[in-house]
Structure 1
Amino acid sequence: CRYWDVVWNFPGSGHPRGMIDMLDSTDFRVVSASEEQVELSFRSTYDPSRLNSVRLTVDKRLVMLRGSSGFYCYAVLEHAGSWPALNITEARLAFKLNTARFTYMAVSDEIQRYMPRAADRDAPRGMPLAYKEAVLLLNPAEPQFKGEVDDKYQYSLDNKDNAVHGWIAGAPGPAVGFWVVTPSNEFKTGGPLKRELTSHVGPTSLTMFMGTHYVGNDIVAKIKEGEHWKKVMGPVFIYLNSNPERGNFHTLWEDAKAQAEAEASKWPYTFPESPDFHKAGQRGSVTGRLLVRDRFVSGKDMPARRAYVGLAAPGQPGSWAIESKGYQFWTRASATCGSFAIGNVRAGVYNLYAWVPGTLGDYMHTAAVTVDAGGAVALGDLVFEPPRSGPTLWEIGVPDRSAAEFFVPEPNPKYVNKLFLSKDKYRQYGLWDRYAELYPAGDPVFTVGESHYSKDWFFAHVT
């Protein structure tokens, strides 16, 4: 089955954790129907007579194109200027697949495996751990999973890495793949480092357009009374492929990755009928070069090599990480000269933000950037001066917004996911408990010049 839903509330609702609305439609319309394309609209709108009616007009679209092995989904969410306030915690598109057929999950080249069944998580087969999403499999239907922890958060990805994920159905019958393809992250919240759910036991596959995971309430979209707000979520592509050679799952995965690249190359799509989805002619571009000026490192301005450079709603340095109402557009600067080009930007007013791997601090261009339809904004050379009061005396780790270089302990053997025994160990359940076990006398002491962060600095802050 397929469904959209939102988690929302309003000031004084008495539901601090939010209410779930399945966005059931009340109006159906055939938007277009030809030999080349069919687009359907499923619409609902706010009913002021119902206290718990979600304060949005929601237009869910489904598109099928001739010769395409799949279908496209997108939605337009709108809050009218005359409506009362609401907060949106989560907006997603979910797919629940055939439990008996889809048993193999893939979310990246490294994260792929056969998965337990949803029923294995229920008592007495499974036992909940510190939070309900993490379950120890005591007596699963397939003994190969016995003693493992199943936890959907172990399969999360950063937005920048989440291009395609899904499931493969094996025997009986030919191998069939079901894939969620995200051709652009412009409609997702929190920027390229925002981590979100992908696929997990169910079998379930998600597109998380908005969500508070790993951030908290700071990223909730708070829409004020009297505020007009509209956002297009998607389209995402649901791709189906097959292979008559049973068990050849690698071929299906490689084909799904190739399809994801093909979809990204076609962005922005030309086919959506909603006028709220901006086509290429309604978009513009921003170019420039980012330099780093740090007199304690070099007497000359240095290229901001491989910097992350993006456009997001006007705010403060770093505010893009908790921005959820608007669109974001990101790229990587050149590895040689620091030049950057951000294309296919929706017309609007933005701030330009950046950070440079290996350099402390957040950059924000002092002036707002206005992008017009068909326009090309050339910003020229921009200079980022990292915050510092003097030369670096010592540092622990690398300022690259990753904890990959720090010490990650071995998991408790009672609570393992076998997939992460030799890679991505930080994904294992319960590593926070290992901290107290490793340092029973108190927090470790890092001695400059003697200690090394790869073995003497725990990868996470725990209390």
Structure 2
Amino acid sequence: MAMAENRRRILHYPEDRLPGRCQTLDYAEAVQLTNPKDPQLQGEVDDKYQYSCANIDNRVHGWISFNPPVGFWQITPSDEFCSGGPLKQNLTSHVGPTTLAMFLSGHYAGQDLVPKIRGGESWKVVFGPVYIYLNSAAVGDDPLWLWEDAKIQMMNEVQSWPYYFPASEDFLKSDQRGNISGRLLVLDKYICTDLISANVAYVGLAPPGDAGSWQRECKNYNFWTRADGNGFFTIRNVRPGDYNLFAWVPGFVGDYKFVDVVKITPGSYTELGELIYEPPRDGPTLWEIGIPDRSAAEFYAPDPNPQYINRFRQYGLWDRYTEFYPDADLVYTVGVSDYRKDWFYAQAPRKKEDNTLQGTTSKSVAWFREVHTN
């Protein structure tokens, strides 16, 4: 199975999840292989959530058969119809062999991302199309070439979006859509008196709402891109309608919302010019823990428990909080502690000897020196 450069692996058989071949872990989806048909996989953890992927990155995933060398791939050229915006995680491929095309999901979010259709309300959204791609190689060739070929096909499909062949009048072709571009800059006088380029900002169009409301959007279309290093962005092939333009900039707190409603019409090209985002603050930053980038990657993630052989997302990593802080919760001392080593990546509960869970509270302590001036 392959879904990303750093997430490719030989998977076990579906039967390896049956009683007698595995041990169920803390939740039903996670098992440890105790007697797999392939002895090389002994002790590995299987959990379909290991293969979740952000919408913006979920472009191709699937399977390779080694004998004969055949590939089966699902390509999703656009995520405009997926709920929750670019960072919403969805399931992809997992043991079965299973290949999923998920458009709406409450995973990792809950009821906020479950569409609610009220009495008398009409609702219509076009999901897909997704592209199923099969490829093959000659016996003796490296089967992993099929993954490389699938990535090339994926890029072709992304460039071909929106497709021309769907007959439904609800699937709009390129000439029935509009485009928008601009440049996003950041004004934070406590950092710099000059405007700062919104380097690789996430910029998107979503139904009108409050700043950040795009994260809960699950009934309509949304269109996202990444700005370049200078803050320039272009969003292409947007369905006609009224939108708010939203953005967030890695390294800066808060959500940006353009003040005016953006109206997209067929064949239009809208140039917004320079947009200025002023992050919310009441004064200069005295100290901070981590980086405001909607990721916990910079915090401390210990090595996994050696009893679990993990491939990607480390099952059981959260339980190590109890090992490090068996009695008292972590205290972060500003000016002394280093969040890369001293701030656990998640606020996890403490597991007690009777296997019950105890809530935890992380604390930060700041030390200040009084300065007198004449």
**TM-score relative to the length of structure 1:** 0.74
Structure 1 partner of 2:31: 135
1:461 Cα deviation from its structure 2 partner: 2.0
Structure 2 residue 111 is the aligned partner of structure 1 residue 217: yes
Q: Is the CA contact 1:219–1:323 (under 8 Å) kept in the aligned structure 2?
A: yes
What does 1:108-127 correspond to in 2, within 5 Å?
A: 108-127=4-23
2:330 to 432, 444, 456: 444
Structure 1 partner of 2:212: 318
Give the AA of the match of 1:152: K
1:162-205 C-alpha deviation (Å, 9 max, x unpaired): 1100001112xx20000000111111111110111110000101
SS in 1 for 2:103: strand
Structure 2: gaps of 5 or more residues: 350-374
Structure 2 partner of 1:405: 298
1:227 Cα deviation from its structure 2 partner: 1.0
CA RMSD of aligned residues (A): 1.1
Distance 1:197 1:435 in 2: 27
1:266 to 144, 156, 160: 160
Give the AA of the match of 2:335: G
1:21-73 C-alpha deviation (Å, 9 max, x unpaired): xxxxxxxxxxxxxxxxxxxxxxxxxxxxxxxxxxxxxxxxxxxxxxxxxxxxx
Q: Is the CA contact 1:170–1:247 (under 8 Å) kept in the aligned structure 2?
A: no
Structure 1 partner of 2:274: 381
Distance 1:217 1:144 in 2: 40
1:247 Cα deviation from its structure 2 partner: 6.0
Distance 1:218 1:319 in 2: 11
SS in 1 for 2:184: strand
SS in 1 for 2:165: coil
Structure 2 residue 121 is the aligned partner of structure 1 residue 235: no
**TM-score relative to the length of structure 2:** 0.91
Give the AA of the match of 2:185: L
* Percent sequence identity over aligned pairs: 57
Structure 2 residue 61 is the aligned partner of structure 1 residue 165: yes
1:362-417 C-alpha deviation (Å, 9 max, x unpaired): 00112211101111222222111101111011111111111111111111222222
Q: Is the CA contact 1:349–1:370 (under 8 Å) kept in the aligned structure 2?
A: yes
Structure 2 partner of 1:456: 342
Structure 2 partner of 1:195: 89
Moved over 4 A (4+): none
Structure 2 residue 171 is the aligned partner of structure 1 residue 282: no
1:433 Cα deviation from its structure 2 partner: 1.1
SS in 2 for 1:460: coil
1:249-280 C-alpha deviation (Å, 9 max, x unpaired): 22101000000000000011111111110001
What does 1:58-69 correspond to in 2, within 5 Å?
A: none
Distance 1:328 1:391 in 2: 34
Structure 1: gaps of 5 or more residues: 1-104, 421-426
SS in 1 for 2:252: coil
SS in 1 for 2:179: strand
Distance 1:390 1:183 in 2: 43
Give the AA of the match of 2:151: K
1:149 Cα deviation from its structure 2 partner: 1.0
Give the AA of the match of 2:314: Q
Give the AA of the match of 1:229: W
Q: Greater share of strand residues, 1 or 2?
A: 1
Q: Is the CA contact 1:170–1:246 (under 8 Å) kept in the aligned structure 2?
A: no
Distance 1:447 1:190 in 2: 36
Structure 2 partner of 1:69: none
1:316 Cα deviation from its structure 2 partner: 1.1
